[in-house]
Amino acid sequence: METSIPWEHGSEFGWILPLDYPYPKRALPANAVLFGNGRQALAAALLAGKKQRGWHRCYVPSYICQSVVDAVLATGLECIPYPDLPIGQPELNYRNLQPSDCVLIVNHFGWRSPQFSQLVRTTPAGLIEDHTHDPWSAWASNSSADFCIVSLRKTLPLPDGGAIWSPRGHPIEPPSIEEPDHQRAALQKLAGMLLKAEYLRGGSVEKSLFRSLQTSGENLFKTLPLSKPLEITSHLLDRLPWDQWRSKRRVNVEYLAGLLRTIKQVEVLNPPRMAESCSFGVVIRCPTNSVRDQLRQYLIERQIYPAVLWPKNCHMMNDCQAVEFSERILFFHADFRYEVTDLERVVQAVRNFFGSW
Ligand SMILES: Cc1ncc(COP(=O)(O)O)c(C=O)c1O
């Protein structure tokens, strides 16, 4: 009897067997400190800046996810949005910045350049860069920010983990333990990853089981207390061929973006290929919010799970361009999990959706 192997595209990583030897290239700078997740790494940077440099206020891009905003608020710093979308130029009156301010700059989708960071560096304010979407860009490697942070599970198949390093050599206090609440959340994520891999292998696992573990684990993640990641995360981090995966992501992004550009009803927002960076995925903009939602639903019914990065939230509400962006875009994964045939199947589904209009 023929057994069918389930196919899907997008969504979170399943468990991927690590190499059985340490990968010769380090995934993170030698001075990086690991935390439970990205928001904890950000909170650690803000708390260090508050203690060491008297930071009171943090300027945060208007286009950002709620967990980042929550992390800033959890540290007791004032969180001030400044207009900044993945496309266009940030608007921040940097001449007014004080030594008690810090600016969070996000390399949205891996598309941004270090120019704005260089401008902020000329002011008395502190600078934190979020390199989650491309932790290995030349910008991240050559940064002169006070702190760089990343959330690791967005680009690597890890259950948890965030990292922080200080290019300027500021001290960073490492977390002392694996906090039980964090452990509980991360172990659910880990179980979800293992079961997803079994499902994708054709094992008898219901999709609803691994999805509910992934979702409940994700919802349990917190900013405070700061925690170590699971021990297995550091073990995996040393054994993942991150640079080969990044190269594959770059090739996949180019291929998928090129195919999607042939569909006239969608606008591919990725910039032309940049030599030093690697896009997180492919972002399209639909003509309206309703078309975006219908397309997303159509794709979900075909096991294609693009993401809305990010759903609108209170922090972006005063920036109508950010809200509009959030309402019309879809993010397509193009990471190392996918082969050309997977990407072609995704594009065919998008084409069919518009063909049936
Ligand atoms: C750009 C960016 N930075 C930081 C975070 C927070 O990371 P974590 O979910 O690991 O706390 C996220 C989460 O989506 C993110 O997208």
Q: Tens of pLDDT along 94-138?
A: 899 999 999 999 999 999 999 999 999 999 999 999 999 999 999
Instruction: Count helices and strands (H / E) in the chain.
Output: 11, 12
Residue 197 located in a structural domain: no
128-137, 157-166, 264-273, 281-290, range with the lowest pLDDT: 264-273
Expressed as residue numbers, the domain containing 142 is: 17-177+223-357
Residue 217 located in a structural domain: no
How many domains are there within the chain?
Answer: 1
Q: Is 313 in the pocket of ligand 1 (CB under 6 A)?
A: no
pLDDT above 90 (res 341): yes
Residue 255 located in a structural domain: yes
Alpha carbons 134 and 201: distance in angstroms, whole number: 29
For ligand 1, atom 7, name the residue with the nearest CA.
38
Residue 32 located in a structural domain: yes
Residue 189 located in a structural domain: no
Residue 11 located in a structural domain: no
- Looking at residue 357, its pLDDT comes to 64
Residue 303 located in a structural domain: yes
End-to-end CA distance of the chain: 38
Q: How confident is the model at residue 273 (pLDDT cuts 50, 70, 90)?
A: confident
Angle between helices 242-260 and 340-355 (to 10 degrees): 30
The mean pLDDT value for 319-333 works out to: 98
Q: What is the mean pLDDT of the chain?
A: 97
Alpha carbons 223 and 232: distance in angstroms, whole number: 20
Mutate to test the pocket of ligand 1, among 154, 155, 280 (most ligand atoms within 8 A of CB): 154
CA of 248 to the centre of ligand 1 (A): 22
The mean pLDDT value for 44-71 works out to: 98
The mean pLDDT value for 318-322 works out to: 97
CATH number reported for the structural domain that contains residue 82 in this entry: 3.40.640.10
Residues 140, 107 contacting (CB under 8 angstroms):
yes
- Looking at residue 135, its pLDDT comes to 98
The mean pLDDT value for 36-49 works out to: 98
Angle between helices 289-300 and 340-355 (to 10 degrees): 130
Residue 6 located in a structural domain: no
pLDDT above 70 (res 3): no
Q: Could you give phi then psi for residue 18, rounded to 5 degrees?
A: -75, 170
The mean pLDDT value for 270-296 works out to: 94
For ligand 1, atom 8, name the residue with the nearest CA.
38
Q: Is 12 in the pocket of ligand 1 (CB under 6 A)?
A: no
